[in-house]
Homo-oligomer: A and B are copies of this chain.
Amino acid sequence: MMENKNISRPMDLTRIQVTDDFWKREMELVRKEVIPYQWDALNDRVPGANPSFCMRNYRVAGKINKIRREQGKNYVETVYPVDFNGGAPEVLPESMDQMEDRFYGFVFQDSDFAKWIEAVGYSLTQHPDEKLEAVADAAIDVVCDAQQEDGYLDTFYIINDRSRIFTNLKDNHELYCFGHLTEGAVAYYQATGKDKLLKAVERYADFISDHFGPEEGKCKGYPGHEIAEMALVRLYEVTGKEKYLDLSRFFTDMRGTRPYYFDYEQNAKQDDGLRYEYHQAHLPVREQKEAVGHAVRAVYLYSGMADLARLTGDEKLLKACETLWDDIVDRKMYITGGIGGTHIGEAFSFAYDLPNDTAYAETCASIGLVFFARRMLQIKADSKYANVMERALYNGILSGMALDGKSFFYVNPLEVLPEACHKDERKFHVKPVRQKWFGCACCPPNIARLLSSIGSYAYTETDDTLFMHLYMGGEITRTFGNGAEAKIVVTSGLPWDGNVTVKAETDSDQPFTLAFRLPDWCDSYTAEGIEDAQTEIRDGYLYVTRVWKDNSEVKLSFPMEVRMMQSNPQVREDAGKVAFMRGPIVYCMEEADNGKDLHLVSLGDDPQITEVSSEEFGYQTVMLEVTGRRQVKEESEEKQLYHIYRRPQYQEAKLRLIPYYTWANRGEGEMQVWIKER
């Protein structure tokens, strides 16, 4: 393996305390609202919501293991049908305890626990909570009881039919659940130092490692839903065991090779790569040049590929990552950082096909894009990655959660007409109001795990450099080669103003470099306190190298002006339209402020823009007022569907724009990001 000194590492969360006004509020929502709600959901205690059955399935599997041990050789395995959605009894009994000992819920239900324990781990680093930790430890006991003697740990197959494990990698999410469990175990171990779950996952990973591999007789398959690739890298990094890295590489290298493994396991003979674009298994990964298929799977795969490229120095793999990144960001990403232009397959559409009203732009996909970005940043600190990370975080991801943390969007459209969401099946996936929880609960827990670990995206480091990819108030503890420690205290006005202060608190003078990202939303900046430092600008970062003494301070100021944005003319849906941004924040019009029929609103000549500070959403945000106009509907023309052209009449209108992430917090109504010029 090559050593590359430029490669940076995310920081252990125990070394970062996020104190940022903006992000801390979001993290507290996760801690106080999402994590407890999620635990109730895992235990089927949310009135009115579909039960998850997650913890129940683990307990049933544990019971089976117990009986198996007790009966020894006399034990007869349980065999039930292996259905993707194990469902629930049509009528739930009074008490769940009256239900049969079966597997219930979707095939991937185990992952609900994994995502929860991951979020809990991160949260504990920022806010120790003995009670929560005790609940988590008890839950881990239940999960570990479900593990079988050989290490296998997937309740779907343990309960339904152990003999069929790893026989439907394409659809049955077995390795996906493993990947999530691994991420959860690593996070919990890093947060608490407790390794019970980590050890269980290692045993499971060893089992998988014995089953899959290049050696003759071993299975040549790979995950239908990617995540194990990057999870195994994390497991390798925390345990140092190369076999996990090898397994990740094996999964990645086998993907898309011919004959297609998914053909083989399903006894199909199509050899039709198009069928596997959904899984990014249409081509070997190094030959993939276009981001295709299910958007979440895609960015999870690319994240794993970036991890491997980083650790192995594989140039071809890195090149593929770069090409795929550019394909997303230059051709397939909404201005909000949303990805996935079509709900069919929750997938990327073709280049420049970015419909606003039928967008998929799943919250999880933008989260995956952040994973991918952070990994690319580790390889090369190029602000192009961090700019996108910031864009997705403040817009397409945060819009996934209500301001009270109690309801969520899967889909983050850029234009909504509620009537269409209710009446037009083509838009049934677009919800005009956030929903409580989902039967297939991926987005809320994904938001929880991302926000709880947000600090690890803001900062990465090498031996001599601390990178600030995002400006996020907090305290970073940095240990130096000589054992000395320094605390770096960051304050930030983002996303509402661009003033950032970075101050060192240290007992001893320390030479090192701070690398500050120069955001894409301003053309200039000012920096104070770098007069006696060595500075360099490279790839969108300002590198400040100096000896940092106690109270050394750098003040950065990034001017934050409202920008009227335009899309590439190839984006048909945005032609003749503009969107507004201020700093990293994308704005939108809502019916609550601007009335109905937003399609009749336009800007006209020379729009005047005013920034307005507002506390409407419970804390200070910046809204925009823009002068525009609204086409007048003549009474006489209302009935006739088509008529001879009459020059439209307009009324002046003062448009009010709110941050996109705050939309749909005031009931159901129309919304639009892109506004007609005329």
* A contact residues vs B (CB 8 Å cutoff): 329-331, 333, 335, 342, 344-345, 349-350, 353, 358, 417, 419-420, 423-426, 563-572, 575-576, 578-579, 597, 599-600, 602, 631, 633, 637-646, 648, 676-678
- Is B565 a contact of A643 with CB atoms below 8 Å? yes
- Is B641 a contact of A333 with CB atoms below 8 Å? yes
A637 CB contacts on chain B under 8 angstroms = 568-569
How many angstroms from the CA of A333 to the CA of B641 in the assembled complex? Answer: 8
Known: A565-B643, A678-B678. 9 other contacts (CB 8 A): A330-B641, A345-B425, A349-B423, A566-B643, A566-B646, A569-B637, A575-B600, A575-B676, A576-B576
Copy number in the complex reads 2
In the assembled complex, the CB of A142 is this many whole angstroms from the nearest CB of chain B, namely 40
How many angstroms from the CA of A329 to the CA of B642 in the assembled complex? Answer: 10
- Is B330 a contact of A640 with CB atoms below 8 Å? yes
In the assembled complex, the CB of A601 is this many whole angstroms from the nearest CB of chain B, namely 10
How many angstroms from the CA of A600 to the CA of B569 in the assembled complex? Answer: 8
The answer to whether residues A645 and B426 also contact, given A330-B640, A350-B419, A568-B640 and a CB cut-off of 8 A, is no
How many angstroms from the CA of A331 to the CA of B633 in the assembled complex? Answer: 16
A642 CB contacts on chain B under 8 angstroms = 335, 565-568, 579
A638 CB contacts on chain B under 8 angstroms = 568, 570
In the assembled complex, the CB of A277 is this many whole angstroms from the nearest CB of chain B, namely 11
A564 CB contacts on chain B under 8 angstroms = 644-645
In the assembled complex, the CB of A540 is this many whole angstroms from the nearest CB of chain B, namely 15
How many angstroms from the CA of A329 to the CA of B420 in the assembled complex? Answer: 20
In the assembled complex, the CB of A340 is this many whole angstroms from the nearest CB of chain B, namely 13
Q: Which of B572, B578, B579 contacts A417 (CB 8 A)?
A: B572
Question: Sorted from nearest, which 6 A-B pairs have the closest CB atoms?
Answer: A564-B645, A350-B423, A344-B425, A572-B599, A566-B645, A678-B678
A631 CB contacts on chain B under 8 angstroms = 569, 575
16 chain-A/chain-B pairs, Cβ below 8 angstroms:
A333-B641, A349-B424, A353-B424, A358-B426, A563-B644, A564-B645, A565-B642, A565-B644, A566-B642, A566-B646, A567-B642, A568-B640, A569-B648, A570-B597, A570-B633, A678-B678
In the assembled complex, the CB of A229 is this many whole angstroms from the nearest CB of chain B, namely 27
Chain B residue with minimal CB distance to A601?
B575
The listed residue with most B CB atoms (<10 A of its CB), out of A349, A575, A633, A642, is A642
- Is A350 a contact of B424 with CB atoms below 8 Å? yes
- Is B566 a contact of A644 with CB atoms below 8 Å? yes
Chain B residue with minimal CB distance to A335?
B642
A329 CB contacts on chain B under 8 angstroms = 641
In the assembled complex, the CB of A348 is this many whole angstroms from the nearest CB of chain B, namely 10
